[in-house]
Amino acid sequence: MEKLLRSGVKEAVKTIYGADADDDMLQVQKTRKEFEGDYTLVVFPLSKLSRRGPEQTAGEIGEYLVRTIDAVSGYNVIKGFLNLVIAPAEWDRRLSVMHAESDYGFTKPGPESETVVIEYSSPNTNKPLHLGHIRNNLLGYSLSRIFAAAGNIVIRTNIVNDRGIHICKSMLAWQKYSGGRTPESEGIKGDHFVGDYYVLFEKKLKEQAEELIAAGSEPETARDNAPLMQEARQMLVKWEAGDPGTVKLWQMMNSWVYEGFDVTYRALGVEFDRIYYESDTYKVGREIVLRSLEEGHLIRKEDGSVWIDLTDDKLDQKLLLRSDGTAVYMTQDLGTAVIRYNDYHFDHHIYVVGNEQNYHFQVLTLALKRMGYEWAEGLHHFSYGMVELPEGKMKSREGTVVDADDLVEEMTATATAMSQELGKLTGYSEDEKQNICRQIGLGALKYYILKVDPKKNMTFNPRESIDFNGNTGPFIQYTYARIRSVLKKAEETGIADASEVTGIVIPNPKEISVIKLLDDFHPLVIEAAREMSPALIANYCYELAREFNQFYHDFSILGEENKDIRNFRLRLSELTGRILEKGLWLLGIEAPERM
Final residue belonging to a domain, choices 353, 388, 423: 388
Instruction: Let me know if residue 397 belongs to a domain.
Output: no
126 & 151 share domain: yes
The chain-wide mean pLDDT, for the chain, equals 93
pLDDT tens readout for residues 509-554: 999 999 999 999 999 999 999 999 999 999 999 999 999 999 999 9
- What integer pLDDT is reported at residue 331 of this predicted model? 94
Asked whether residue 394 carries a pLDDT value surpassing 60, the answer given is no
Final residue belonging to a domain, choices 361, 388, 415: 388
Compute the CA torsion angle 424, 427, 429, 430 (nearest 10 deg). Answer: 40
Query: Which of 174, 162, 132 shows the shortest CA–CA distance to 449?
Result: 132
- What integer pLDDT is reported at residue 426 of this predicted model? 78
The domain of 548 spans 404-586
pLDDT tens readout for residues 365-390: 999 999 999 999 999 999 999 887 77
pLDDT tens readout for residues 578-594: 999 999 999 999 999 98
525 & 487 share domain: yes
209 & 325 share domain: yes
Question: pLDDT > 90: what percent of the chain?
Answer: 83
472 & 534 share domain: yes
Instruction: Let me know if residue 165 belongs to a domain.
Output: yes
Query: Which of 57, 65, 54, 51 shows the shortest CA–CA distance to 9?
Result: 65
Of all helices (H) and strands (E), which one includes residue 429? none
Instruction: Let me know if residue 317 belongs to a domain.
Output: yes
Final residue belonging to a domain, choices 86, 106, 134: 86
pTM: 0.91
Determine the Cα–Cα distance for residues 209 and 221; give it in Å rounded to an integer. Answer: 9
Instruction: Let me know if residue 109 belongs to a domain.
Output: no
154 & 285 share domain: yes
29 & 131 share domain: no
Instruction: Let me know if residue 394 belongs to a domain.
Output: no
Output the domain CATH number for residue 216. Answer: 3.40.50.620
Q: Give the chain's count of helices (H) and strands (E).
A: 21, 14
Instruction: Let me know if residue 98 belongs to a domain.
Output: no
Q: Distance between terminal CA atoms of the chain?
A: 34
pLDDT band at 423 (very low <50, low <70, confident <90, very high): confident
pLDDT tens readout for residues 134-181: 999 999 999 999 999 999 999 999 999 999 899 999 999 999 999 999
- What integer pLDDT is reported at residue 118 of this predicted model? 98
Taking CA atoms, 502 is separated from 96, 97, 573, in Å, by: 12, 15, 18
- What integer pLDDT is reported at residue 359 of this predicted model? 96
Cα-to-chain-centroid distance, residue 257? 25
Phi then psi for 22, rounded to 5 degrees?
-70, 155
495 & 563 share domain: yes
- What integer pLDDT is reported at residue 513 of this predicted model? 95
228 & 325 share domain: yes
Residues near 539 by beta carbon (within 8 Å), at least 6 away in sequence = 451, 471
Instruction: Let me know if residue 395 belongs to a domain.
Output: no
70 & 133 share domain: no
Determine the Cα–Cα distance for residues 288 and 376; give it in Å rounded to an integer. Answer: 15
Taking CA atoms, 595 is separated from 199, 442, 491, 592, in Å, by: 42, 14, 19, 7
Instruction: Let me know if residue 170 belongs to a domain.
Output: yes
432 & 348 share domain: no
Maximum C-alpha span of the chain: 92
Mean pLDDT of 446-459: 94
- What integer pLDDT is reported at residue 59 of this predicted model? 96
- What integer pLDDT is reported at residue 171 of this predicted model? 97
- What integer pLDDT is reported at residue 14 of this predicted model? 95
211 & 351 share domain: yes
pLDDT band at 397 (very low <50, low <70, confident <90, very high): very low
Phi then psi for 252, rounded to 5 degrees?
-65, -50
Mean pLDDT of 461-473: 83
Mean pLDDT of 71-86: 95
323 & 289 share domain: yes
Q: What total number of domains does the chain contain?
A: 3
Asked whether residue 396 carries a pLDDT value surpassing 80, the answer given is no
Output the domain CATH number for residue 580. Answer: 1.10.730.10
pLDDT tens readout for residues 245-303: 999 999 999 999 999 999 999 999 999 999 999 999 999 999 999 999 999 999 999 99
Output the domain CATH number for residue 22. Answer: 3.30.1360.70
